[in-house]
Structure 1
Amino acid sequence: MNLASIDLNLLVAFEALMEERNVTRAGERVGLAQPSMSSVLTRLRALFGDDLFVRSASGMQPTAKALSLARPISDALGQIRGVLAPGSDFDPATAQRRLSIAVTDYGDLIVVPPLVAALRREAPGIDLVVRPIIDAATSVTSLEHGDIDALIGGHLPASTRITRCMLFEENFVCIRDSARARRKAKLSRDDFTRLPHALFSSAGGDGHPGAIDTMLARHGHKRRTAITLAHAVAVPFAIAGTDLVATMSERIARRFAASAGVSIAPVPYDVEAFTIDLLHTRRAAANPALRWFIALINRVCKEL
């Protein structure tokens, strides 16, 4: 294929179609009216010899060919944008703009405070909007559409249109009332399955088994969830003074154990650690401010 005969704007349109899955919205992103964008899609189909996108009840769905093209085309465009972007235009010390992230409860409690402190030190003119991740799939869609700049949290869904990097690993620990822990320091497997549990679920407890329930099922056990709480920070305060036990992330447990009056103990089963991830679009590579912001998040999390 002769590259000189290819209109590279077609690849920009392809990227927009992959991210929007809608001809009208994709056209708005690249500055084309709907009829013109439809014409571009026809040219793309001729160029690659494939339908690329087919209509469905949930919108335009990419074909296998389109999915195979998405990453290399986006990477190539990202490199071109990076070459053309004036990297010297962004100075965090003097920059004035707004950035936005969406985070889980965990990110709000563990990542956001040191991130805010770093922003105030290094980029006092940058405003940060922090939104909650209530429905992870919806937040990923918002990221893909450019409504937010990054997502931070654990167990976030995958997408072919975003870049994911691991910030750090987190472990599970058990917490229980400190007075009861003093009477019996070690939490046995029998204790763990016998005692009633407090559970954190941002969805309010939708019946889907979590990592702990899946682990117990492998051992032929099941726990009783006596209380389900919508916010992670509520868990240690809710179990203090009760016979409840809870399993939660170690960093949150250590942050609130003393003030809540609970003690931390190892989970008496082998439970895999989970990752806290940063998600952003590949377009961020071409934006000096976002490149700096993503690097800052990574730097802050290395010190946690």
Structure 2
Amino acid sequence: MRFNKLDLNLLVALDAMLAERSVSRAAERLHVSQSTMSSSLTRLRTYFEDELLVQVGRKLELTPRAETLKEAVRDVLSRVDTAIATQPQFDPTQSDREFRMFVSDYTLVTLMPHLLALARRQSSTVRFQLSPLPQMDRPQRALERGDADLLVIPRNYCSREHPAEVLFEEEFNCVVWSGSRFAHAGELTLDQYVAAGHVVTQPTGTDQPTLESWFMQRHGIVRRVEVTTYSFVAAPFVVIGTECIATVHGRLARLAQRSQPLKLHALPVPMPRMEQAMQWHKYRTHDPGLVWLRGLLHEAAWLMDAEQTAGARPTASRFP
């Protein structure tokens, strides 16, 4: 199909090359030969009268013209995919669809087991691909590139360009080893907190601080960091056998305490609750499959808290 003498199939190739900044990786992504992709690039250069991708040292860089095309091409392809590929109805018991979700390891161990259990209860035949979160400076790029159907991230990281819904709120606790001096010192004071060594989480792929680190910096609280880990889940385990303190999501802290020699303290400084949200592409709000998935996530969040409140997995749901 052509539009203004442009073979629209070339837009798919262009999108891949602009995203990958590599002819060979774009070819792998679209499952075509490198020579086919090189031929597409030649035709695109002719049509746009621009090099689009130029060699700079050992890598390819986008020309100014290519930079202006990048978002526009992705937007066009997202609209086409939404209009054509999305089925008008969705039956989870008959679908072979794979939902691609980007989640942190915190979300992976606290919320996702409930989502998967609910899908099983519905005799769902869908599949889930749970991947690590992309760089947190612009996580919505994963939605715009079509790499993810849904993000589960803190509300303050969500883009204003796409819809989002809060799933639940989260508080933070201080976690210490049950054999440490802080486990037997009564209520943890701010002076003790500041003087202690700390285990701090800094996810890979981003320089942005986590919510609790951002809060501490904003309020001038300087922690003496002894251990930095990339994993939220690992943080409460790392304090065992030490005098360190880890500031951890409350649900994760309570989950770790079930099996490990840990004691939880209230954070000695008032910190706003984190709002954990889900976000999807604005063009896919009415996608029946995503509507089902979003509803399932809300139910999973309710069941997650019902289990922690009751101390055992509930057998009933408040949802029809």
The residue aligned with 1:92 is 92
Q: Work out whether residues 254 and 264 of structure 1, in 8 Å CA contact, stay in contact via their aligned partners in 2.
A: no
The residue aligned with 2:43 is 43
CA pair 237-84 structure 1, distance change in 2 beyond 3 A: closer
The residue aligned with 1:105 is 105
CA distance in 1, matches of 2:142, 2:192: 43
The residue aligned with 2:318 is none
CA pair 290-15 structure 1, distance change in 2 beyond 3 A: farther
Q: Root-mean-square deviation (CA), in Å?
A: 5.0
The amino acid that maps onto 1:189 is: L
CA pair 68-184 structure 1, distance change in 2 beyond 3 A: same
The residue aligned with 2:265 is 264
The residue aligned with 2:126 is 126
Deviations 1:72-101 (A, max 9, x none): 222222222332236147521122455555
The 10-residue stretch of structure 1 (238-247 or 116-125) with the greater mean CA deviation from structure 2: 238-247
The residue aligned with 1:197 is 198
More helix by share: 1
Q: How does 1:134-213 map to 2 (within 5 A)?
A: 152=152, 170-176=170-176, 183-185=185-187, 187-200=188-201
Q: Does 1:295 align with 2:291?
A: no
The residue aligned with 1:71 is 71
Residue aligned with 2:223, SS: coil
TM-score, normalised to structure 2, is 0.64
Report deviation, 1:290: 6.5
The residue aligned with 2:19 is 19
CA distance in 2, matches of 1:58, 1:167: 43
Q: Work out whether residues 177 and 241 of structure 1, in 8 Å CA contact, stay in contact via their aligned partners in 2.
A: yes
Report deviation, 1:252: 1.7
The residue aligned with 2:246 is 246
The amino acid that maps onto 1:250 is: G
CA distance in 2, matches of 1:294, 1:300: 10
CA pair 218-34 structure 1, distance change in 2 beyond 3 A: closer
CA distance in 2, matches of 1:152, 1:58: 36
Q: Work out whether residues 198 and 245 of structure 1, in 8 Å CA contact, stay in contact via their aligned partners in 2.
A: yes
CA pair 241-35 structure 1, distance change in 2 beyond 3 A: closer
Q: Work out whether residues 115 and 297 of structure 2, in 8 Å CA contact, stay in contact via their aligned partners in 1.
A: no
Report deviation, 1:244: 3.7
The residue aligned with 1:56 is 56
Deviations 1:132-174 (A, max 9, x none): x39969xx9999998886665569x999xxx895755655433
CA pair 25-241 structure 1, distance change in 2 beyond 3 A: closer
CA distance in 1, matches of 2:29, 2:239: 50
Q: Work out whether residues 236 and 262 of structure 1, in 8 Å CA contact, stay in contact via their aligned partners in 2.
A: no
CA distance in 1, matches of 2:214, 2:144: 31
Report deviation, 1:47: 3.4
The 10-residue stretch of structure 1 (214-223 or 259-268) with the greater mean CA deviation from structure 2: 214-223
Q: Work out whether residues 167 and 301 of structure 1, in 8 Å CA contact, stay in contact via their aligned partners in 2.
A: no
The amino acid that maps onto 1:12 is: V
Q: Work out whether residues 167 and 298 of structure 1, in 8 Å CA contact, stay in contact via their aligned partners in 2.
A: no
Q: Work out whether residues 247 and 267 of structure 1, in 8 Å CA contact, stay in contact via their aligned partners in 2.
A: no
CA distance in 2, matches of 1:291, 1:58: 41
Q: How does 1:3-18 map to 2 (within 5 A)?
A: 3-18=3-18
The amino acid that maps onto 1:174 is: C
The 10-residue stretch of structure 1 (113-122 or 96-105) with the greater mean CA deviation from structure 2: 96-105
CA pair 135-22 structure 1, distance change in 2 beyond 3 A: same
The amino acid that maps onto 1:115 is: L
CA distance in 2, matches of 1:32, 1:264: 56
Q: Work out whether residues 173 and 264 of structure 2, in 8 Å CA contact, stay in contact via their aligned partners in 1.
A: no
CA pair 45-117 structure 1, distance change in 2 beyond 3 A: same
Deviations 1:53-79 (A, max 9, x none): 222346332233323222222222222
Report deviation, 1:17: 1.7
CA distance in 2, matches of 1:177, 1:101: 33
Report deviation, 1:34: 3.7
Q: Work out whether residues 173 and 248 of structure 1, in 8 Å CA contact, stay in contact via their aligned partners in 2.
A: yes
Where structure 1 has 5 or more consecutive residues not aligned to the other structure, the ranges are none
The amino acid that maps onto 2:266 is: A
Where structure 2 has 5 or more consecutive residues not aligned to the other structure, the ranges are 305-320
Deviations 1:237-296 (A, max 9, x none): 565797543211233234445665523313426x576665668889x959x796467635
CA pair 194-208 structure 1, distance change in 2 beyond 3 A: farther
